[in-house]
Chains A and B, each alone.
Chain A
Amino acid sequence: MNGALRTLLRRPNGAIGVLLLAVMLAAALLGSCYTPYDPIAIELAVRLQPPSLQHWLGTDEWGRDVLSRLLFGATVSVSISFFTVLFSVLFGALIGAASGFFGGWFERCVMAFMDALLAFPSLIMALGVMAVFGPSRYGVVLALSLAYLPSVVRIVRSSVLSLREKEYIEASQVMGNSELFTMLRHILPNSISPIIVLASALFGWALLAESALSFLGLGVPPPASSWGGMLADSRIHFAAAPWLALAPGLCISFSLLGINLFGDALRDQFDPRMKNL
């Protein structure tokens, strides 16, 4: 594993991606246990202060410390994205692999359902789910997982369909292996690279979608902070206090960049053919 990490870091893309990702995760971890100020404590005396030694990134309209809110928001945003990706990839891969491998009526029903889901723009669908469940973290995760599920299912299914034609799948059958074993041993490991690329892209989308939902007031309910919510709150003060928008905006941008670079490097890493290149 040590060697794998080293080869990952040897690629410049991988190194930058890992660095950005590490900063993001560190912020999320730190935000969950320590922030310089209470992220929700209102102190109107210091509202809309520019960055200073006391408040490194300034304060917002209620006098709350932006850095503290950013760190706390990192925990919220990252954990929402993480669980969204986890659920949609886990269930999407299983459903996609099963429908690709077994085919028949099962596949037809699943794909019809997925196509129906896909017909809604993912954000609209998330909006619908949020409208039903009311704004909460769990609602966001559920809504986004459901919205992204069809694309995972489709991609995994198509990769399984092309793998199923390979002769080593037939060889496994001739050796007397069960279909389940063949799927777990040969098909899923070989479709891991599209899944990883997709997962990294999904993480970015989820981060963005969570921001968008919060921006629309349907995400994490106030006073808790999230990056998208902070961006939303900052827009009326943009002329007077641009740091309010810049701080969460840059956080979102750099996180996305880091995730995408990391995803690409990881895909190369997982492919044995790309080793020693």
Chain B
Amino acid sequence: MRRVVDQVSFDIEAGQVVALVGESGSGKTMIGRAVLQLLPQVAQVESGSIRFNGRELAGAGEAAMRAIRGRDIGMVFQEPMVSLNPALSIGCQMTEALKLHLGLGEAEAARRCLAMLERVRIADPAGCFAAYPHQFSGGMRQRIMLASVLVMEPKLLLADEPTTALDAIIQKEVMDIMVALTREMGTAVLLVSHDLGMVAHYANRVVVMRKGEALETGRTEDILLAPRHEYTRNLLDALPSRAKSGPPRAAGEQLVAVRALSVDFRKKASVFWKQPGVFRAVEAVDLTLRRGETVAVVGESGSGKTTIGRALVRLVKESSGEIDFGGRDVTRLAGRELMAYRLQTQMVFQDPFSSLDPRMSLCDIVAEGLRNVPGMKRAARRERALAMLGEVGLGDYGQRFPHELSGGQRQRVCIARAIVATPCLLVADEPVSALDVTIQKQILGLLDLLQQKFGFTYLFISHDLGVVEQIADRVIVMYRGRILESGSRSAIYDDPRHPYTIRLLQASPRIQRCPQGGYRLAAHPARSQDAPQGFCYFNHGSMPGIAHSTGSLEMVSVGDDHQVACSRAA
């Protein structure tokens, strides 16, 4: 018997947004599930009361709960990819609840659903109504999910990490729609999230949770301005922020130069004798990494940022272009030379749960990174591996196995494995996006420490602009395989030029430390910049304001170490 939620109390008024914030294992999801009596088999409500509109829900019968679920209390789940039934059309799923709970006829139910789909800003509601879930992206699905819950006009909406799986821009759209609609309908919202920065922008009240306890409850502004509990302060403190900027680091010599790199992926052929189609993941990308600096590549999913990193460590083959490393083109390396190059470049992967072989001890895992170092004996490798585990703060863990570790500890092991042969270049693909904020802060600190000690060059791939702002020296913004803007951190964050960069920055929630103590919400200035003389940012595109063409984009210099992609004005 373990108590996962202990003595938590809060209330939500109609039309209000209350957020439960906490790291994994804080019991926040359990509270949401307890309200609907959707707890897992092994969990039960021991004591306490859940009053909804004057009715006691704790201990209410299954029949009573069925009448309430969906009708009076709606729920939106985290994973938009699995919360819609793939076998039924959107219309069929949406009208189901209306017909069941309100006894509406087919025509009336369909009318209401179409109206709701329009309100969640689905471009073609009628088309969407007849379509199936797999035809939509994650953001669209979450909007559809939201529509199908809100069409019942519930009095309470439980949203459990509703946007965690989505990109920043889509996250903002979905949250904006959700909060606007519920405010309009007078629906109360219980927002469950790990993301304090995001929550602070939308919630009226915040409940900070840790290990099943509510540590602090209060109005959002009060909590930001004067957090009382130490843990809240730690959470706020762990939010990434730009380091006190000293003088820019002395740029070292050039380490890697990528020239006109393009990567194609073959699509699956419909029939095997036909030539399969090609999807261009990265198109004509130039980029330079200098020794000892951290370059961040940001962009939404599908922007090609991961592919660039994988091309650098030779996990994918380019279709054209070259990668210059120390005067040699690594795209042509093979055999021994490729092996020597591999010792110079390493990678840290995103998912700490699948990047370690579950059958090997940590010492063996790290020592494997030295297997291909010429002339290194087994004993020496083990010794060095143990030393490196010490370096990442896991000194006594050599004989343990990956399943005994937390996500943060696993990521430390991945880092140790990557750096054990002291490479020059480390490609880090979303190394902290699977971790809680406080752990995230530790890992970023570790990466920084190791960089100072060993002088690594980082290519840091991330969708999180907050994290990037904290650690990057230079930032590259990508969209659909192309670089839209690149420049020093201050150029990108303080003087963004491209409309897409500006949108990206606006979509990432920020909390700033006030000079007089406490924190406040901060928004990026929404000024748009004109394109340089004689150029325009986009000619045509599916999304307004975003270049989406295979036409010729040129990188135009708009300042000291600051380039933006434009096309020539006609």
Select one of A167, A176, A272, A273 contacting B349, CB under 8 A.
A167
Whether A273 and B371, one on each chain, are in contact in the complex, defined by CB atoms closer than 8 angstroms, is no
Indicate whether B313 reaches chain A with its CB closer than 8 angstroms.
yes
Nearest chain B residue, comparing its CB with the CB of A168: B357
As a 0/1 sequence over residues 208 to 245 of chain A, the CB contacts with chain B under 8 angstroms (1 = contact) are 00000000000000000000000000000000000000
As a 0/1 sequence over residues 167 to 197 of chain A, the CB contacts with chain B under 8 angstroms (1 = contact) are 1101111111100000001100110000000
A177 to B342, CA, bound (A): 10
Whether A189 and B359, one on each chain, are in contact in the complex, defined by CB atoms closer than 8 angstroms, is yes
Are A272 and B372 also in contact (CB < 8 A) when A167-B355, A176-B343 are?
no
Please, which residues of chain A bring their CB within 8 A of the CB of B345?
174
A174 to B349, CA, bound (A): 11
Q: Which of B328-352 contact A (CB under 8 A)?
A: 338-339, 342-343, 345-347, 349-351
Indicate whether B378 reaches chain A with its CB closer than 8 angstroms.
no
Whether B356 and A272, one on each chain, are in contact in the complex, defined by CB atoms closer than 8 angstroms, is no
As a 0/1 sequence over residues 90 to 103 of chain B, the CB contacts with chain A under 8 angstroms (1 = contact) are 00000000000000
Please, which residues of chain B bring their CB within 8 A of the CB of A189?
357, 359
As a 0/1 sequence over residues 401 to 415 of chain B, the CB contacts with chain A under 8 angstroms (1 = contact) are 101000000000010
Are A170 and B315 also in contact (CB < 8 A) when A177-B371, A190-B359 are?
yes
Indicate whether B525 reaches chain A with its CB closer than 8 angstroms.
no
Whether A176 and B359, one on each chain, are in contact in the complex, defined by CB atoms closer than 8 angstroms, is no
A189 to B365, CA, bound (A): 14
Nearest CB of A to B113, in Å: 38
A173 to B349, CA, bound (A): 13
Please, which residues of chain B bring their CB within 8 A of the CB of A173?
315
Q: Which of A130-159 contact B (CB under 8 A)?
A: none
Indicate whether B417 reaches chain A with its CB closer than 8 angstroms.
yes
Select one of A170, A176, A177, A273 contacting B358, CB under 8 A.
A273
Please, which residues of chain A bring their CB within 8 A of the CB of B403?
272-273
Please, which residues of chain B bring their CB within 8 A of the CB of A168?
354-357
Whether B371 and A175, one on each chain, are in contact in the complex, defined by CB atoms closer than 8 angstroms, is yes
Whether A171 and B417, one on each chain, are in contact in the complex, defined by CB atoms closer than 8 angstroms, is yes
Please, which residues of chain A bring their CB within 8 A of the CB of B368?
172, 175, 177, 185
Indicate whether B369 reaches chain A with its CB closer than 8 angstroms.
yes
Q: Which of B284-343 contact A (CB under 8 A)?
A: 313-315, 338-339, 342-343
25 contacts across the A-B interface (CB closer than 8 A):
A166-B355, A167-B349, A167-B354, A168-B356, A168-B357, A170-B347, A171-B347, A171-B414, A171-B417, A173-B315, A174-B314, A175-B346, A175-B368, A175-B369, A175-B417, A176-B338, A176-B343, A177-B371, A185-B368, A186-B357, A190-B359, A272-B358, A272-B359, A272-B401, A273-B358
Nearest chain B residue, comparing its CB with the CB of A175: B369
List chain A positions with a Cβ less than 8 A from chain B: 166-168, 170-177, 185-186, 189-190, 272-273
Nearest CB of B to A188, in Å: 10
Please, which residues of chain B bring their CB within 8 A of the CB of A174?
313-315, 342, 345-347
List chain B positions with a Cβ less than 8 A from chain A: 313-315, 338-339, 342-343, 345-347, 349-351, 354-359, 368-369, 371-372, 401, 403, 414, 417
Interface of A is mostly: helix
Please, which residues of chain A bring their CB within 8 A of the CB of B401?
272
A91 to B359, CA, bound (A): 23
A185 to B354, CA, bound (A): 16
A177 to B357, CA, bound (A): 14
Nearest CB of B to A109, in Å: 13
Q: Which 6 A-B pairs have the closest CB atoms?
A: A176-B342, A167-B355, A167-B349, A176-B372, A176-B339, A273-B403
Interface of B is mostly: loop
Please, which residues of chain B bring their CB within 8 A of the CB of A177?
368, 371-372
Whether B315 and A175, one on each chain, are in contact in the complex, defined by CB atoms closer than 8 angstroms, is no
Nearest CB of A to B148, in Å: 32
Please, which residues of chain A bring their CB within 8 A of the CB of B371?
175-177
A173 to B414, CA, bound (A): 14
A167 to B348, CA, bound (A): 10
Please, which residues of chain B bring their CB within 8 A of the CB of A273?
358, 403
Nearest chain B residue, comparing its CB with the CB of A271: B358
A185 to B358, CA, bound (A): 12
Nearest chain B residue, comparing its CB with the CB of A272: B401
Please, which residues of chain B bring their CB within 8 A of the CB of A166?
354-355
A175 to B342, CA, bound (A): 6
Whether B355 and A175, one on each chain, are in contact in the complex, defined by CB atoms closer than 8 angstroms, is no
A14 to B484, CA, bound (A): 61
Nearest CB of B to A66, in Å: 47
Nearest CB of A to B47, in Å: 31
Please, which residues of chain B bring their CB within 8 A of the CB of A185?
368
Instruction: Tell which of A166, A172, A173 has the most Cβ of chain B within 10 Å.
Output: A166
Nearest CB of B to A177, in Å: 7
11 further A-B pairs in the complex, CB-CB below 8 A; given A167-B354, A175-B346: A170-B347, A171-B347, A172-B368, A175-B342, A175-B372, A175-B417, A176-B338, A176-B339, A185-B368, A189-B359, A272-B359
Nearest CB of B to A34, in Å: 42
Nearest chain B residue, comparing its CB with the CB of A192: B359
A177 to B345, CA, bound (A): 14
A190 to B315, CA, bound (A): 22
Nearest CB of B to A276, in Å: 9
Nearest CB of B to A110, in Å: 16
Nearest chain A residue, comparing its CB with the CB of B402: A272
Please, which residues of chain B bring their CB within 8 A of the CB of A172?
368
Please, which residues of chain A bring their CB within 8 A of the CB of B315?
170, 173-174
Whether B342 and A171, one on each chain, are in contact in the complex, defined by CB atoms closer than 8 angstroms, is no
A273 to B401, CA, bound (A): 9
Nearest CB of A to B394, in Å: 17
Please, which residues of chain A bring their CB within 8 A of the CB of B354?
166-168
Select one of B314, B355, B358 contacting A171, CB under 8 A.
B355
Are A190 and B358 also in contact (CB < 8 A) when A171-B417, A174-B313, A174-B347 are?
yes
Nearest CB of B to A8, in Å: 18
Nearest CB of A to B369, in Å: 5
Please, which residues of chain B bring their CB within 8 A of the CB of A171?
347, 349, 355, 414, 417
Please, which residues of chain B bring their CB within 8 A of the CB of A167?
349-351, 354-355
Nearest chain A residue, comparing its CB with the CB of B338: A176
Nearest chain A residue, comparing its CB with the CB of B339: A176
Nearest chain B residue, comparing its CB with the CB of A171: B355
Nearest CB of B to A111, in Å: 13
A222 to B349, CA, bound (A): 63
A172 to B315, CA, bound (A): 11
Nearest chain A residue, comparing its CB with the CB of B401: A272
A189 to B347, CA, bound (A): 23
Nearest chain B residue, comparing its CB with the CB of A270: B359
Whether A190 and B355, one on each chain, are in contact in the complex, defined by CB atoms closer than 8 angstroms, is no
A171 to B411, CA, bound (A): 13
Nearest CB of A to B284, in Å: 25
Nearest CB of A to B347, in Å: 5
